[in-house]
């Protein structure tokens, strides 16, 4: 009996949450029943983790460049899919339509594989819906205006119709795709990921102190943390602005940031200009983010929007007080004032959220963090999340 061939396609150029999800899936696949190919640009961190896992995943470099015109990209995608001949293709996107409609069309046209789309965020091309008045104006009365939006709707509709199933990471994203872009509701599902609750758990005093000593942070400091790749939509500047204001009132308040990604130099300049720069610690990429969280007290997610927020779930599981901007993902995870704080996606919102976290008394903090941990155990436990994902994609698991 011929083994089923499953192909995963990803456009990411730096290690982030999407790669974490993918590696978790890979860890549970039954490789006696399926062969797996990963086609991506590939980062050193991803290659190292794949090698360390010892899993029989074939890694192929993605050679189609972002922004290539359809006439050049389509034949490349056709050749790629025909050379591998997968029965299933899973396309993972950090932002919606990151791979655009071309590979979806090529996969459908070339070998009629079952196409699964996994969308981890809103994305750059999915615009908020217009009001009914503006929709009539743009679509009916002024030719030539709103054509970009029409093109985006057509592209999204094509992707949604050709895919065997689309998975998104929050209910708000599903509602948007179905109501505004024509994705079939019965073939569009919310699929949450999860975290290892044994690895991400409240720290011992020894673990906490050891990390702090290495990085020059006092044992009695209150540490605000944010970890992940620095990109524009993450808006880490909001954390630094809030800290500049709050640091004068709280002399024992510190900030700990992982500093890597496109905005690394910009963040370093912001920190250099801060009056409290001596209490801001910038560290590089962390292979084990649980160590960073266990050394901290308050976690902040300051994004303009966030499809899900795996780092947020990690922080909840670790027992941190969590402050998150009120995007589609955090809204599915946090109930304000019960297991964390939801705030406006603004400078003021992040500052107010941090002030609320700092104002908690010991008993209220304990109640909040215990509920946070329980939320993760009941809804976002990693084993349950992996089983749900592989079953939904019809991929055999161990």
**Structural domains present in the chain:** 4-194+382-392 (3.40.50.2000), 205-379 (3.40.50.2000)
pLDDT of 274 higher than 90: yes
Whole-number percent of the chain with pLDDT over 70: 93
Q: Which band of pLDDT confidence, cut at 50, 70 and 90, is reported for residue 239?
A: very high
pLDDT in tens, 135-155: 444 444 444 456 767 887 888
Burial of 183 (0-12, 13-18, 19+ CB in 10 A): buried
Place of tokens 């655009």: 100
Q: Which band of pLDDT confidence, cut at 50, 70 and 90, is reported for residue 96?
A: confident
pLDDT value, residue 215: 94
Distance (Å, whole) CA 224 – CA 311: 14
pLDDT of 134 higher than 50: no
Better pLDDT: 231 or 314: 314
Q: Which band of pLDDT confidence, cut at 50, 70 and 90, is reported for residue 124?
A: very low
Distance (Å, whole) CA 154 – CA 176: 15
Distance (Å, whole) CA 217 – CA 198: 25
Whole-number percent of the chain with pLDDT over 90: 69
pLDDT of 130 higher than 70: no
pLDDT value, residue 139: 47
Distance (Å, whole) CA 267 – CA 227: 13
pLDDT in tens, 317-334: 999 999 999 988 899 999
- Calculate the alpha carbon distances from 388 to 100, 190, 366 in Å: 26, 11, 31
302-323 mean pLDDT: 93
The reply to whether the predicted model has a pTM over 0.85 is no
223-252 mean pLDDT: 93
pLDDT value, residue 140: 45
Q: Which band of pLDDT confidence, cut at 50, 70 and 90, is reported for residue 285?
A: confident
pLDDT mean across residues, the chain: 89
pLDDT value, residue 180: 85
pLDDT value, residue 225: 97
pLDDT of 15 higher than 80: no
188-213 mean pLDDT: 93
| CA 6 to chain centroid | 23
234-250 mean pLDDT: 95
pLDDT value, residue 42: 76
pLDDT of 226 higher than 80: yes
Neighbour-count burial for 292-309, b at 16+ CB within 10 Å, e otherwise: bbbbbbbbbbbbebbbbb
pLDDT of 316 higher than 80: yes
Distance (Å, whole) CA 140 – CA 150: 12
């Amino acid at each position: 009996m011929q083994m089923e061939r499953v192909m995963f396609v990803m456009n990411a150029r730096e290690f982030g949450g999407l790669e974490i999800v993918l590696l978790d899936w890979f860890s549970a696949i039954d490789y006696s029943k399926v062969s797996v190919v990963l086609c991506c640009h590939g980062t050193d961190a991803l290659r190292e983790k794949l090698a360390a896992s010892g899993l029989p995943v074939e890694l192929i470099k993605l050679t189609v460049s972002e922004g290539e015109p359809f006439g050049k990209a389509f034949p490349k995608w056709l050749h790629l899919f025909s050379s591998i001949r997968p029965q299933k293709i899973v396309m993972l996107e950090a932002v919606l339509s990151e791979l655009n409609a071309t590979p979806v069309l090529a996969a459908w046209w070339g070998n009629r594989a079952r196409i699964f789309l996994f969308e981890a965020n809103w994305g750059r091309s999915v615009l908020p819906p217009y009001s009914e008045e503006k929709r009539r104006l743009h679509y009916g009365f002024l030719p030539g205006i709103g054509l970009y939006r029409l093109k985006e709707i057509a592209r999204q509709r094509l992707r949604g119709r050709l895919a065997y199933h689309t998975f998104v990471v929050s209910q708000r994203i599903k509602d948007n795709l179905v109501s505004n872009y024509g994705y079939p509701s019965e073939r569009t599902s919310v699929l949450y990921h999860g975290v290892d609750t044994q690895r991400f758990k409240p720290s011992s005093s020894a673990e906490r102190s050891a990390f702090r000593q290495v990085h020059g942070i006092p044992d009695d400091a209150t540490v605000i943390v944010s970890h992940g790749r620095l990109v524009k939509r993450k808006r880490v500047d909001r954390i630094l602005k809030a800290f500049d204001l709050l640091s004068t009132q709280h002399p024992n308040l510190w900030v700990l940031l992982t500093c890597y990604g496109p905005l690394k130099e910009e963040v370093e300049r912001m920190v250099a200009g801060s009056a409290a720069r001596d209490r801001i610690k910038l560290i590089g990429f962390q292979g084990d983010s649980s160590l960073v969280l266990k050394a901290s007290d308050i976690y902040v997610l300051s994004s303009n929007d966030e499809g899900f927020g795996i780092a947020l779930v990690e922080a909840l599981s670790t027992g941190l007080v969590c402050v998150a901007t009120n995007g589609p993902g955090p809204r599915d995870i946090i109930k304000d004032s019960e297991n964390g704080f939801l705030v406006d996606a603004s400078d003021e919102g992040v500052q107010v959220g941090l002030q609320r976290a700092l104002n908690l008394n010991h008993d209220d903090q304990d109640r909040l963090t215990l509920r946070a941990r329980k939320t993760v155990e009941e809804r976002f436990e990693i084993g349950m999340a992996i089983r749900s994902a592989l079953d939904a994609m019809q991929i055999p698991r161990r």
